Amino acid sequence: MSHVTTTQPEGTPTWLELDVPDPEAAGRFYGGVLGWRFQDQGPEAGGYRLCLLRGEPVAGVMRSPGEGGAARRWTVYFATGDCDGAAERAADAGGEVVHEPMDVMDLGRMAIVTDAVGAPLGLWQGRAHVGARLVNEPGALVWNELVTGDADEAREFYRNLFDHTTEPIAGEADYTLLRRPDGHEVGGIHGDPDAASSTWLSYFEVEDVDSAVRAVQASGGALDGEPWNSPYGRMAHVRDPFGAEFRLVRPPDRVPDSV
């Protein structure tokens, strides 16, 4: 468990956000699966809802108009001390600025960009809102990885954007750890030649993956394939009722012997 009380270092995933046409339905789904409570921030925030775990914000949900269009996705925001400068670096490194830097009341400054392989991500310069207050515990964010068909270009982009270092993991899969300059792991890049598009995929820790999968299905979500065991824990790839993909994971030191 990590309780975050200050802004995260440059290049650290710090916040998650979901745009959906029905935040009330999202609240019921994620409340049933991850134990979140939703807190409406009022008209001045456009009805933005904080997802709370043990009373602490861990993600956000906002209403987006319309029922159709592309499948929804979780957007991961990376911490930066200079949102404008980071947006410029993203464009210079082969990405694109989708939403120009803007202030969000007194909470912070944000921008949305795509990286050099087309994956959307957010930039967050925290002020009153430092980002997720709880990470690395059941119900909270525990990992993020970029799935892309062009891992080489992705690795170069994040080295240029955040000064991340890259460390390949030995094995059959093309997998690279992203580290901050201080050596702390902040995510991964999975090179998948079959990936139809590039996207960031977020992992949430749960106490029991199989029980959480049943909650996903009972709450209108879907399971993509069966849960599996890995050296990093038991996992499942799921979708919420709006099509947003994420993964559930129970770290290996807490996987029951019976699994």
In percent, how much of the chain has pLDDT > 90? 87
Tokens of 77: 């925001």
- Mean pLDDT across the stretch 60-74? 76
Architecture, CATH, for domain 137-254: Roll (3.10)
Residue 40 has pLDDT above 50, yes or no: yes
Residue 32 has pLDDT above 70, yes or no: yes
Residue 255 has pLDDT above 60, yes or no: no
DSSP string, 147-194: EES-HHHHHHHHHHHH--EEEEPPSSSEEEEEE-TTS-EEEEEEE-TT
Per-residue pLDDT at 254? 59
The number of CA neighbours under 13 Å toward the Cβ of 20 is 22
Q: How confident is the model at residue 47 (pLDDT cuts 50, 70, 90)?
A: confident
Per-residue pLDDT at 67? 54
Residue 253 has pLDDT above 80, yes or no: no
Per-residue pLDDT at 176? 97
Q: What is the pLDDT of residues 193-247, one digit of tens each?
A: 999 999 999 999 999 999 999 999 999 999 999 999 999 999 999 999 999 999 9
Q: What is the pLDDT of residues 88-105, one digit of tens each?
A: 999 999 999 999 999 999
Per-residue pLDDT at 1? 58
CATH topology for the 2-134 domain: 2,3-Dihydroxybiphenyl 1,2-Dioxygenase; domain 1 (3.10.180)
Residue 172 has pLDDT above 80, yes or no: no
Class of residue 186 by CB neighbours under 10 A (exposed 0-12, middle 13-18, buried 19+): buried
Q: How many CB atoms lie within 10 A of CB 210?
A: 16
DSSP 3-state of 84: helix
Q: Cα-flanking dihedrals φ and ψ of residue 165, to 5°? A: -100, 155
Contacts of 257 (CB under 8 A, 6+ apart): none
What are the percentages of helix, strand and coil residues in the chain, rounded to 5?
20, 40, 40
β-pairing, 49-53 vs 37-40, is antiparallel
- Helical residues (DSSP H) of 95-141, grouped into ranges: none
* Amino acid found at 190: H
Residue 46 has pLDDT above 90, yes or no: no
Q: What is the mean pLDDT of the chain?
A: 93
Per-residue pLDDT at 70? 56
**DSSP H/E element including 256:** none
If you search the block for the tokens 């269009």, which residue do you land on?
69
Domain with CATH 3.10.180.10 in the chain: 2-134, 137-254
